Structure 1
Amino acid sequence: MSNSDGFIEEVTEELRRDQMMAKLKRYGWIGVLAVLLIVGGAAYSEYRAAQARAQAESLGDAVLDALESNDAAQRVAALGQVETPGPKADAVLALLTASEQVAAGDTAGAVSSLETVSLNSEIPQVYRQIAQFKALTLQAETLDAATRKQGFEALGSAGGTLRLLAQEQLALIAIQEGDTATAITTYQGILSDAGVTPDLQQRALQVIVALGGEPDLIGAPTDDNNG
C-alpha cells in the first residue's frame, strides 16, 4: 500500500468518526430519552402495582373491621361506611352488604343492594349475574313465578358459572307449579351436562327419584370429569 493510499484511508476514517460524533450530538438524545422512558415506565408500573396492592389491603382491612360486630345490623351500617376504589370493589362490597342484610332480616334491603350491582353496566358481568341470581332467589316468596322464570331463563342462556344453577331454579319453579314432567326433564339436562358439579349432580339425582322419575346416567359426567 502506498503512502498516498494510507493517507486517504486515515482521512476517510477520520471523516467517519466526525460524522458519527455529529450524529451522536444531533440524535443521541433520542437514545437517552428511550432509556429514560423505559426506566420511567417500569418505575411507574411498579408504583401503580404498589398503589393497587395498598388499596386492596386497605379495603380488606376496612371490610374486616366492619364485620367484627356480632350484630348484623351494625355490620350493615359499618359496611355502608367503607369506601371503595372502583366498580369491581363496589360489587363485592354490595354482595357482602346484601348477605348481612339478609342476616339482619332486611330482605328488601338486600334485594335493593343486589339490584344496584345487577343493573350497573360498569361492573363485570360475572358480578352482575351473581347479584341477579341472589336477588331472584331472595324473592321466591314475593315475586311471581313468571317474572322469576324469565330472570332465571336469561341467566341460564347467558352461560357462565351460574347457568346450571339457574336451570335448577327453573326446575324448582316447575315443581311449585305442579309440572313434574318439566322438572324431571330439566334436572335430567343438568345431570347430563358436562359442567355439572358433584353437589349439583347429587341434588339432581335425588330430586328426579323423589319426583318418581328414573335418572338417565348415560352420558352423565363422572367424578373424574368433575375434577
Structure 2
Amino acid sequence: MSNTDSFIEEVTEEVRRDKLFALMRKWGWLAGLIIFGLVGGAAYNEWSKARAQAQAQAFGDAVLAGLAGDANPTLLEELPTADANQELVKTLLLASTGAVDGADRAETAAALQALAETDGLPPLYRQLALLKAQMSGGTGDGARDTRILEELATPGTPFRPLAIEQQALRQLEAGNASGAITLLQQLLEEPGATDTLRRRALQVIVALGGNPTPA
C-alpha cells in the first residue's frame, strides 16, 4: 500500500470518528434518556409487582382471619382493595364481624343473607355470604337454614368443611348429640378440612362422649 493510500485511509477514518462524535454530541442525550427510561420502567415494574403481591398477601391474610372469626374490624376497614371482587369480599367480612353500623348478630345475618341474594353475585361470594350468614345465626327459619347448609355442604363446594361443622352445631342445638357426632366424624375424614377445624371437631366429639377415629 502506497503512502498516499495510507494517508487517505487515515483521513477517512478520522472523518468517520469526527462524524460519530458529532452525532453523539447531538443525540447522546436522547440515547441516555432512552436508557434511563428502560431502566426506570423495569424498576417501576418490579416495584409494582412487589407492591401488588404484598397487598394480595395482606388481603388473603385478612380473608383467612375473617373466616376463622378473629378478624379485626378496624384493620378490615383500612384494608386496601385492588378490584371490585376484593371490595366485595371486604364488605362481606365487615358485615360478618358486625362492623357495619354496629350491627348485632341478627342484623348481620340478615345483611349477609341479602347480599347473597344480590343479582349477578359470583357463586363463590354468594356461598361465602350464605356461610357467614349461617355462622351469624341464620335466617331464623329452621327449614330454610337446613336447605342452605345442605347446599353449602354439597361435595365439591369450596366451604363444605365449614358447612358440615355448622350442620353439626345445629344438631347440637336441636339436642341431637349422636347426629352431631356423626357429622363431626365425617368432618375428620373430609380432605378439605384444616387442622384447626379437625381439632375443634375432635374436642367436641370427646366432650360429647364420642369415640373419635381421625382419618
Query: Please, what is the CA RMSD of the aligned residues?
Result: 5.2
Which whole-Å deviations, capped at 9, do the CAs of 1:24-67 have from their partners, x for residues lacking one?
Answer: 557973552342364377579979x7xxx9xxxxxxxxx75xxx
Report how many aligned residue pairs link the two structures: 188
Mark the CA change 1:21 to 1:113 in structure 2 (over 3 Å): closer, same or farther: farther
From the superposition, tell whether residues 215 and 132 of structure 1 become closer, same or farther in structure 2 (CA, over 3 Å). Answer: same
- Partner residue of 1:95? 93
Shift of residue 182 of structure 1? 8.6
Gaps of 5+ in 2: 56-72
- Counterpart pick for 2:162 among 145, 161, 165: 165
Quote how far apart the aligned CAs of 1:133 are.
1.4
Is the alpha carbon distance of 1:5 and 1:188 closer, same or farther for their aligned partners in structure 2, counting shifts above 3 Å?
farther
| Structure 1 residues 80-132: Cα deviation after superposition (integer angstroms, max 9, x where no partner) | xx9x8763345435532443369643624543256437858789x5x665433
- SS for the counterpart of 2:10 is helix
CA distance in 1, matches of 2:36, 2:12: 32
Aligned-partner Cα distance in 1 for 2:150–2:179: 19
Matching residue of 1:112: 111
1:216 pairs with 2:209: no
Per-residue deviation, 1:150: 3.7
User: CA shift at 1:139, angstroms?
Assistant: 0.9
Matched-pair contact (CA < 8 Å) for 2:149–2:163:
no
CA contact (8 A) 1:209 1:215 kept: yes
Task: Give the match for residue 6 of structure 1.
Answer: 6
Partner Cα separation in structure 2 for residue 206 and residue 103 of structure 1? 32
Which amino acid is the alignment partner of residue 40 of structure 2? Answer: V
Work out the percentage of aligned pairs sharing the same amino acid: 31
Change (3 A) 1:149 1:116: closer
Aligned pairs for 1:31-180 (under 5 A) are 32-36=33-37, 38-39=39-40, 64=74, 87=84, 88-89=86-87, 91-100=89-98, 104-105=103-104, 107-108=106-107, 110-113=109-112, 115-116=114-115, 119=118, 130-137=128-135, 138-139=137-138, 141-143=140-142, 144-153=144-153, 157-159=156-158, 162-173=159-170, 176=174, 180=178
Q: Give TM-score scaled by structure 1 length.
A: 0.51
Question: TM-score scaled by structure 2?
Answer: 0.53
CA 1:204–1:102 in 2, change beyond 3 Å: closer, same or farther? farther
Return the alpha-carbon distance in structure 1 between the equivalents of residues 146 and 160 of structure 2. 18
Unaligned runs of 5+ in 1: 54-62, 65-78, 221-227
- 1:164 aligned partner, one-letter code: P
**Higher mean C-alpha displacement, 133-142 vs 97-106:** 97-106
